[in-house]
């Protein structure tokens, strides 16, 4: 029984050490992500930051590569917005 408690508290700690955005990503992943790789919290943060930087660019000055990268990041992040 003590082992079970320890695992539950470890799982709780892991959940509380992640951002609310990552927890939302995990929900989307469980609902829609069956064919996508699951990102770690660090990967999620890195890709989310990259996506935000790209989205801040002026649309008329974006290269084709940047547009494709946005699509890749939205796919990985399961970003439906």
What does the pLDDT average to over 6-28? 71
pLDDT score, position 74: 96
17, 18, 54 from 6: Cα distances, Å: 16, 19, 42
Determine the pLDDT at residue 13: 44
H helices of the chain, in order, are: 2-16, 20-32, 41-55, 64-77
Range of the domain at 49: 2-77
Q: Percentage of residues in the chain with pLDDT exceeding 70? A: 78
pLDDT value for 16: 57
């Amino acid at each position: 029984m003590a082992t079970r408690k320890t695992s539950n508290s470890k799982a709780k700690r892991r959940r509380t050490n992640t951002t609310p955005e990552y927890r939302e990503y995990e929900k989307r992943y469980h609902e829609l992500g069956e064919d996508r790789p699951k990102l770690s919290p660090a990967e999620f943060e890195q890709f989310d930051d990259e996506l935000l930087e790209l989205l801040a660019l002026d649309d008329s000055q974006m290269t084709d590569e940047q547009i494709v990268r946005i699509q890749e990041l939205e796919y990985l992040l399961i970003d439906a917005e």
